[in-house]
Amino acid sequence: MMVPAWMYPVQGFYFFFRNAHRLWQRVARFVLEVILAIVGILALLFTLTFPTQRGFLLKFLPHWTGTPGAIALILLETAIAIVVLFQYRLESAQRKLFIDVLAIRKVKVERATGEDHVWLEETLIPKLVGVPAEADMSRVAKNKKASGYLSQVLTEDEHPIMHFLITLPLNFVPVVGNVLFCFLNSFPTAISLHHYYYTEMKGLSSEEFSAVVHAKKPQYQSFGFVASAFSLIPGLDVILVLTNAVGAALWVADMEKSQGSIKSKWGLQWYDKHATSYGTFGPSSSGESSSQA
């Protein structure tokens, strides 16, 4: 049974530990390596850079801020180093968990049919970008800047690592900064956990994938907000970034067990019932593109 999207990270946490005998072996080595790397980097930075960074801060800040400020900088530098060093390993571990969870739930994902692709290309994408369904989408894209309007608009939020690194310093501001960090990272974090499902398992193109997740953006934002908050819990963050992938897989399992076409599985029937554009990406020049098409 489907539950609100924000609950899936919580369910993922409990599901992981209820099935630890099957899932832990997949990620045990990765978790151990990350913990050892964190300890090693912290020891190295505190030994080699702490006095220098403290002295630098004291040149500009009150004396009492020197030590906590230097510690905060070292923690930030450690977090960045871990992300850079282990990003690809993390994605691999999350993917293994994702596949295992679907196997435990006995869910077989079938690729999207030709009819599904036609609906995505001729109904969903045109309504999202605010052009008539009969418009030639390839010509619309060619009339836009850079690599095409569709690619530019529909992929603008799909850079989770960049979002994470840029917004990480916000966590130095208690409560307000933490909430803002979670909000800004919510959508990129959530859709990155479903990228494998939509593109590899369902066979969607990058533009189709982007259209689907943008059509479900409020749900992905609520999921990603909780998932991002989990990643900030000290001591458990290494495990929780993995259980977030378990929660994402549970969400997919519930969608796949629903009956009907992808429209009903993914909750996109709205776009068949409303003839006008959803308006999320309706460009000011959409009318121009439509006329040119």
- pLDDT score for 130: 63
- pLDDT score for 287: 33
List helix spans (H) across the chain. Answer: 8-18, 20-48, 50-58, 66-104, 114-119, 125-129, 137-142, 149-154, 160-167, 176-195, 206-215, 217-230, 237-257, 262-265, 270-273, 286-292
- Range scoring the smallest mean pLDDT among 2-6, 78-82, 108-112, 234-238: 234-238
SS (H, E, C) 247-284: HHHHHHHHHHHCCCCHHHHCCCCHHHHCCCCCCCCCCC
- pLDDT score for 227: 95
Q: What is the mean pLDDT of the chain?
A: 81
Q: Of 15, 230, 176, 5, whose CA–CA distance to 103 is shortest?
A: 15
For 49-58, the pLDDT digits (tens) are 988 988 888 8
The first and second tokens of residue 120, run together, are: 């995505």
- pLDDT score for 132: 52
Q: How far apart are the first and last CA of the chain?
A: 43
Chain centroid, CA 133 distance in Å: 29
For residue 116, pLDDT over 70 is answered with yes
The first and second tokens of residue 104, run together, are: 């435990």
Q: Name the percent of the chain lying above pLDDT 70.
A: 81
- pLDDT score for 289: 34
- Range scoring the smallest mean pLDDT among 129-133, 144-148, 267-271: 144-148
Please give the model's pTM, rounded to 2 decimal places.
0.80
For the residues 71-99, what does the mean pLDDT come to? 89
Torsion of CA 121, 124, 129, 130, to 10 degrees: 110
For 149-199, the pLDDT digits (tens) are 445 445 545 567 778 888 888 888 888 999 999 999 999 999 999 999 999
Rg (C-alpha) for the chain, rounded Å, is 22
For the residues 10-30, what does the mean pLDDT come to? 93
pLDDT tier for residue 275 given thresholds of 50, 70 and 90: very low
For residue 277, pLDDT over 50 is answered with no
For residue 148, pLDDT over 80 is answered with no
